[in-house]
Amino acid sequence: MDKNSSNIMALAPNTSNKRETVCIFGTGDFGRALGHKMIQSGYPVVFGSRSAQTSSLIPKGAEVLSHTEAAQKAAIIIIAIQRQHYNFLIPLTEILHGKVLVDVSNNLKINEHPESNAEYLAQLVPGAKVVKAFNTVSAWALQSGTLDASRQVFVCGDDMEAKQMVMNIVRALGLTPLDQGSLLAAQEIENYPLRLFPMWKFPILLSFGLASFFFFYCLIRNVIYPYVYENKDFSFFIAISIPNRICPILALILLALVYLPGVLAAIIQLYRGTKYRRFPDWLDKWMLCRKQLGLVALAFASLHVLYTLVIPIRYFVRWRMSSQIISQVLNNKTEPLDTTNAWLSDSYVALGILGFFLFVLLGITSLPSVSNNVNWREFRFVQSKLGYLTLILCTAHTLVYGGKRFLSPSSYRWYLPNAYMLSLIIPCMVLVVKFVLIFPCLDKPLTRIRQGWERNPQYSEQSHYIINKSAV
Ligand code: NAP
């Protein structure tokens, strides 16, 4: 039979329940894992291999043939072979004409080649319909069935019908196809598995930098200073006291940094009188990683809670309390209850508890399973209104903790203020600017700008139309 007519027949919609044969080139780890999954899902599988012999590793029920023989048996051929070996397909160009070739390959480096592997495959076999898919699923996950975290399969290709056929297979395997458009998207899809937490880079580097700065700051103030001036060894503060200072400081600063870009964006929009102009790149990137910044902040807040819970069982704390009691006994003098201090201490703890509770609530609503179940207005309400309330409570918690110590000269060592005072700078700035932005003289024009109004309409004609991202 004419080879092209057989291809056309194979590509025709399948009206029976019987699944069509799928061919897999390559009997390596990925080819075998995918073949195993396909056989489980009811697809007849035929492998195309350099050595057409079956072995115990080949999934039961699959045939192993030469590339030419295998290709003739199916309309869809999955190329489970590394890109550097694609040249072997050139002599098969005629047989592969009109077939759907599924490129599953990955690279070792981001943008390793000028064109994506899928585009390269399409150039090598011009008559075939190349579809990119499955590259983000690992052989191990396919074989062990642990696909919970990676059910999504990104699919792209220029031929709609071919793409649809591959998406049907993806669905039949119990996975979720995500159409990413034309084959141009393949480069991006091939880069996905190589990315190392791209959105987390900035928050983690920032936290690392801030943590190092505050660690040395506290070390100088709380360990080196008493050693130099009083010859006291407080080096054990490094274990719990200093981390318990750094964690709330970082939590508060990072939480404020979640809201600072929104405030800056509002100022920029008010200044420009339009929302149709791109924000600077750094602000765009900052806004995109606010969720990650918030989650890192929540992690530090949780650590602060844990460190605080162990305070009563610390030897140093128990020693200090017993010394105070003994000194009262020796002096035959009981310290009266200071209600102001009691109020300050209880309010400080209460604000901390409430702040942490809302912080956890914010963290929970940022989980995809929760955020998918709320509408945009509800999400905004939680992330913006409750978020600001969390920031207010946590800032108040720190302010009340400082209490009267702000003005006490003894809290300045080598002219260095207490570390928590530094942590208040950004949150207070954000809250003050946000408060100013609530005034109707600023809020009204800002709301109008965000609804599309322009003070100077020239920008509406510009091509770089960017939707306002500063909502939260
Ligand atoms: P592999 O274990 O190295 O297997 C590749 C197969 O390619 C070999 O078993 C061999 O099959 C065939 N082959 C090797 N050299 C060849 C040549 N010169 N000419 C023709 N065929 C050749 O690789 P793999 O892990 O299965 O990965 C296969 C593809 O899937 C790669 O592009 C990879 O990026 C992609 N992928 C892998 C994973 C994973 O978890 N492993 C995940 C996603 C995507 P025969 O001996 O039968 O000819």
| CA nearest ligand 1 atom 32, residue | 105
Contacts of 101 (CB under 8 A, 6+ apart): 77, 79, 121, 125, 128, 129, 130, 131
pTM of the model: 0.72
Mutate to test the pocket of ligand 1, among 53, 82, 90 (most ligand atoms within 8 A of CB): 82
Ligand 1 atom nearest to CA at 83: 32
State the DSSP code for 289. T
pLDDT digits (tens, 9 = 90+) for 274-327: 988 889 999 999 999 999 999 999 999 999 999 999 999 999 999 999 999 999
In this prediction, residue 50 carries a pLDDT of 95
Contacts of 393 (CB under 8 A, 6+ apart): 351, 354, 355, 358
Q: Percent of the chain having pLDDT more than 70? A: 92
Q: Is the pLDDT of residue 470 over 70?
A: no
| CA nearest ligand 1 atom 9, residue | 28
User: Which residues line the pocket of ligand 1, CB cutoff 6 A?
Assistant: 26-31, 49-50, 80-82, 85, 88, 104-106, 135, 138-139
Ligand 1 atom nearest to CA at 106: 34
In this prediction, residue 316 carries a pLDDT of 94
* 85 Cα to the center of ligand 1, angstroms: 9
pLDDT digits (tens, 9 = 90+) for 162-171: 999 999 999 9
The whole-number average pLDDT for the span 396-404 is: 87
Ligand 1 atom nearest to CA at 32: 26
* 107 Cα to the center of ligand 1, angstroms: 12
Q: How far is CA 108 from the centre of its chain?
A: 22
What is the DSSP code string of 244-279?
Answer: HHHHHHHHHHHHHHHHHHHHHHHHHHHHHT-SSSPP
* 92 Cα to the center of ligand 1, angstroms: 18
List b or e across 90-113, with b for residues whose CB sees 16 or more CB atoms inside 10 angstroms: eebeebbebbbbbbbbbbeeeeee
* 279 Cα to the center of ligand 1, angstroms: 44
* Joined tokens for residue 278: 């791109």
Mean pLDDT, rounded, of the chain = 89
Ligand 1 atom nearest to CA at 26: 11
State the DSSP code for 416. B
pLDDT category at 7 given cuts 50, 70, 90 is very low
CA distances from 156 to 124, 150, 179, 373 (A): 18, 17, 6, 28
Residues 80, 28 contacting (CB under 8 angstroms): yes
